[in-house]
Homo-oligomer: A and B are copies of this chain.
Amino acid sequence: MARRSRPTIVDVAGAAGVSKSLVSLVMRGAPNVSEDARAAVLEAASTLGYRPNAMARSLAEQRSHVLGLMVSDLTNPFFVDVINGASEAAIGGGYRALVNTGDRDREREEDALETMLRMQADGMIVAAPIVSQDLLERIGSETPTVVTNRGLESEVIDSVVLDDEAGARMAVEHLVALGHHHIAHIDGGPGPGARQRVHGYREAMEDHGLSAHIRVAEGAYTEDGGVHGALALLSQVPPPTAIIAANDMAAIGVLETLEAHGLAVPDDVSVVGFDDIFVAGLRHVGLTSIRQDGRQMGTLAVGMLIERTEHDRHEPRHIVLDPELTVRSTTARPPGPSRNRDPVIETTATRDG
């Protein structure tokens, strides 16, 4: 009891000697209000310490001005970029992005999504979810929804993804150009986009006549996933001379594992990651990676949401972003023969560009 009761709109109306509606108008900066009235209301509001109740507003307005943002794994800096891009765009569009995590756990994800729906989010951004497409579509039929980092064909929800297949292919090509044959891939398990990356890897290997060397180890989009996959690969004979990890977090796990086993990177084994998170760019890490712009994804996602809520678009839209290869110091020519190659220099190359 004795619940600290905060002042309401009627208190302000009373103190300012005007009607509720007037206070309401002033509070959201409507134009048709006399200067006197506005001043009186603002004065009363500030002395009372009045703060509009967003819940009440949403209830009355039938919209929350909130965009729900569910990211699968906050621990991965990539998603922080998505969040930052999205919140900025949301604010710019008069919305608020509220973040919730799924922790790479299906139930937690469902929970997080349910929460935002109950809060009547005006739109949902779901980054790299592992929940069923069915659920996503059910959500999409209730409120505008865009999924990122997970390719899906849907008539009801939008998506922004990287061309994962092309990214994987780029990685293979980079390594082949360096002279590698024994190129292995550690996959992202059941994670979103993992299948596409595996597929791109396989195809590129085949295209280069390396079908016999295809090796896909089971992994995950986490450091542990990388460790797990690397251990599996190291037990093979011969071990690969190059490893394409599911993403940068996994690549970090790979790097640690390789060195723990006394293997030098890139002298003994080359490593390529995916995402190009800030850690990859650290001088001491210098991870070669397939870049994917999280910030832009967040921005685009919000844009798509606003298209739906405010310019009522109804046809689904699926955006595919092009990957870029950022070469750093974890990739080099394989050990042994084939020493007659061009030197590698740090550079960023765009696909088709």
Contacts and interface: CB of A to CB of B under 8 A. Distances in A.
A18 interface: no
Given A77-B77, A282-B285, A99 B99 contact: yes
Nearest to A260: B283
Given A58-B55, A74-B84, A75-B84, A143 B49 contact: no
B62 A59 contact: no
A232 interface: no
Interface in A2-51: 3-4, 6, 49, 51
Contacts of A311: none
Interface string A66-103: 00000000110100100110010001000010111101
Nearest to A281: B256
B100 A99 contact: yes
A111 B96 CA distance: 10
Contacts of A98: 98-100
A55 B138 contact: no
Interface stretch (A114-122, A189-197, A201-209): A114-122
A244 interface: no
B279 A282 contact: yes
Contact of A59 (B53, B96, B138, B143): B53
A133 to B, nearest CB: 17
A118 B49 contact: no
B99 A142 contact: no
A79 to B, nearest CB: 9
Contacts of A83: 74, 101
Given A74-B84, A77-B77, A279-B282, A54 B119 contact: yes
The 3 closest A-B pairs by CB, nearest first: A54-B118, A99-B99, A284-B284
11 contacts: A4-B143, A49-B142, A51-B118, A55-B55, A55-B119, A74-B80, A75-B80, A87-B100, A98-B99, A255-B282, A282-B284
Given A53-B59, A59-B59, A98-B98, 20 more contacts: A3-B62, A49-B138, A52-B118, A53-B120, A55-B55, A55-B58, A55-B59, A55-B64, A55-B119, A74-B84, A75-B84, A83-B101, A84-B103, A87-B100, A91-B111, A98-B100, A255-B283, A255-B284, A256-B283, A284-B285
